[in-house]
Structure 1
Amino acid sequence: MRNLDITTLRSFAAVAETGGVTRAAGFLHLTQSAVSMQLKRLEETLGLELLDRSGRTIALTSAGEQLLVYAKRMVALNDEVIVRLTDQAYVGTIRLGVPHDIVYPAIPRVLKQFNAAFPRVQVQLISCYTKALKADFGKGEIDLILTTETFVDAGGETLCVKPLCWLGAPDGSAWRQRPLKLAFGRHCTFRPRVIERLDKAGIDWDVIVETDSDRTIEATVSADLAINTMIEGTEPPHLQRIDHGGHLPDLPAQMINLYGATRSKNMVHDALADLLRRAFGNEEHTRLRAV
């Protein structure tokens, strides 16, 4: 009788779901060689080829596709048994990436709720711009990421679609000036679409602040020296939505997407993903998972 090893099944499932050994190694906190050895041992145990390595990317063979269904169930059952029978609290770190501009107000609430449920698990919050977060996620360096985009890539899940809004200083007048003075983040994904709307409306503009610092942008806008755009509902309390009465163009909507939620590792990973869904509006998906 041959016995399957949960560790090798966990590595196999991670490779299948991430599409590569390097990414899986990052998610599992293992070396690439360790994951490769585990895959080889699993194939030798079964006497089957589970991965098709003939192409540029790793694909599953027919046997691999069948095993993946069982592997995910066995890993999940293993984790459930350990938790319930040993009363072992989850311990460790989960890495969450969030763009600067959507950290508030939702993420502090998510972190507080998560800490109450899993007090011995540390959430390492990585705040950066969407392009960098997706690059690090692709290398397996982050477990879950939120993004602000106009589309959603394969493996992503759109949590909500919200419009952008114009922001200025409370009772400010910078929005009336021409050319219109703007403050933007250097890697802001909103900027091209905002500029496009201004050009179509025939409004002259000038970017007077271009920076990697959100604090610099907020200080400039708070001083009524420029205006900015943010996703509706994420604006800080010291800035105000501009009631321009049609003197500024309407702005397009933006998606808030979640990546990594389909790569279920354990109860901790799934719980954090569900808290993010609740915080950003995709409650229907959360309810379906709970059924």
Structure 2
Amino acid sequence: MLDLDCLRTFLSIAETASFTRTAHIVGRTQSAISMQIKRLEAIIGGKLFERQSGSLRLTSRGETLRDYAVQLLQVNEEALERVRGFELSGKVRLGVSDDFAEGPLGGILSTFRKAHSRVNLEITVSLTHELLDMLDNGRFDLVVAKKPSAGPERPCAVLNCVDLVWACAAQSAILDQEPLPIVSFPERAYPRDILIAALKKHGIRWHIAATCYSVAALRAAVAADWGISALARPAVLPPLRVASPHPRLPALPKCETALFWSSGRLGPAVHRLRKSVLAAFQ
């Protein structure tokens, strides 16, 4: 029998490419994480991960299991939600950052809607700073967004932690340009302040070549070779490529996505959705 807890750990390692980071996310020791993977490998009869050029990659067997693991965990969560939520009703106002709306959150919200048909779930997709401003102003109950490195403290829980990397067009030679052209989100939008601070700290001359208000627009601008930008590693998809490490590009910090909620009392429907999201990621 496939252990669901082991499958959650397996998916976290597949996403972060790190046993150490997964141990931090799930709150277990690295040895405990390793034991879970060994247990899965014993059940399926082969290796799930391999190291290539110092990085951790899924084997072909691991790729196959990942697809089934996602489905099994979604079915498990849907079953629990349906059994628990017969009488749940109300309204949940949820804000989601642009890039994260494309990921596994969609399946979680779909499961929640099916299980709780009497709950009115309102979803708004926007940039992190706008979502958090609206949360502070009482316009959202929950927000899934990037965790700022500065600003007011808000109740939250980290959902995942991935590398923030420089990205450019697949065949770009733009890194040789002086000053370096940058494609970025508007002021206050994550991670504009982070990438500009890193460039200034390392004395790299730069200029803003394009300002974009969505991840799709930013990807298109970078793909058109208007400049380089910083994205969470999972968001760097063809025709883009990861441009770092590179002599001209400073290292960037990790990128944390968190679930934020209002500091007041949470209604039953809000509490249930918060619990569902946390359970799916943690």
The TM-score range, normalised by the shorter chain, is 0.5 to 0.7
- Provide the TM-score with structure 1 as the length reference: 0.58
Are positions 1:185 and 2:185 aligned together?
yes
- Whether the aligned pair in 1 keeps the contact of 2:90 and 2:120 (CA below 8 Å) is yes
Shift of 1:129: 2.4
- Whether the aligned pair in 1 keeps the contact of 2:166 and 2:229 (CA below 8 Å) is yes
Shift of 1:229: 0.9
2:114 corresponds to which residue? 116
Q: How many residues align?
A: 197
- Whether the aligned pair in 2 keeps the contact of 1:184 and 1:191 (CA below 8 Å) is yes
Shift of 1:92: 4.5
Q: How far apart are the structure 2 equivalents of 1:234 and 1:251? A: 15
Q: How far apart are the structure 2 equivalents of 1:178 and 1:198? A: 13
Q: Max radius of gyration: which structure?
A: 1
- Whether the aligned pair in 2 keeps the contact of 1:144 and 1:260 (CA below 8 Å) is yes
Cα distance change, pair 116–235 in 1 and its aligned pair in 2 (3 A): farther
Q: Deviations over 1:113-142 (max 9, x none)?
A: 323322443432112223322232233221
Q: How far apart are the structure 2 equivalents of 1:114 and 1:140? A: 23
Shift of 1:251: 0.5
2:22 corresponds to which residue? none
Shift of 1:178: 2.5
Q: How far apart are the structure 1 equivalents of 2:87 and 2:112? A: 13
Q: How far apart are the structure 1 equivalents of 2:256 and 2:160? A: 6
Q: How far apart are the structure 2 equivalents of 1:246 and 1:275? A: 43
- Whether the aligned pair in 2 keeps the contact of 1:221 and 1:239 (CA below 8 Å) is yes
| Greater Cα shift, 221-230 or 253-262 | 253-262
2:69 corresponds to which residue? none
Q: How far apart are the structure 1 equivalents of 2:189 and 2:159? A: 20
Q: How far apart are the structure 1 equivalents of 2:211 and 2:129? A: 17
2:149 corresponds to which residue? 150
2:273 corresponds to which residue? 272
Q: Deviations over 1:24-67 (max 9, x none)?
A: xxxxxxxxxxxxxxxxxxxxxxxxxxxxxxxxxxxxxxxxxxxx
Shift of 1:184: 0.8
Q: Deviations over 1:129-156 (max 9, x none)?
A: 2332223223322110123211571423
1:195 corresponds to which residue? 196
Shift of 1:214: 3.5
Q: How far apart are the structure 2 equivalents of 1:162 and 1:134? A: 20
Alignment of 1:46-125 (within 5 A): 88-125=86-123
Q: How far apart are the structure 2 equivalents of 1:126 and 1:192? A: 24
2:215 corresponds to which residue? 214
Cα distance change, pair 153–270 in 1 and its aligned pair in 2 (3 A): same
- Whether the aligned pair in 2 keeps the contact of 1:168 and 1:228 (CA below 8 Å) is yes
2:257 corresponds to which residue? 256
RMSD after superposition? 3.0
Task: Describe the SS at the equivalent of 2:251.
Answer: coil
Q: How far apart are the structure 1 equivalents of 2:277 and 2:97? A: 13
Shift of 1:231: 2.2
Q: Which residues of structure 2 form unaligned runs of 5+? A: 1-81
1:163 corresponds to which residue? 163
Identity over aligned residues, as a percent? 23
- Provide the TM-score with structure 2 as the length reference: 0.59
Q: How far apart are the structure 2 equivalents of 1:204 and 1:162? A: 27
1:173 corresponds to which residue? 173
Amino acid in the other structure paired with 1:251: L
- Whether the aligned pair in 2 keeps the contact of 1:92 and 1:122 (CA below 8 Å) is yes
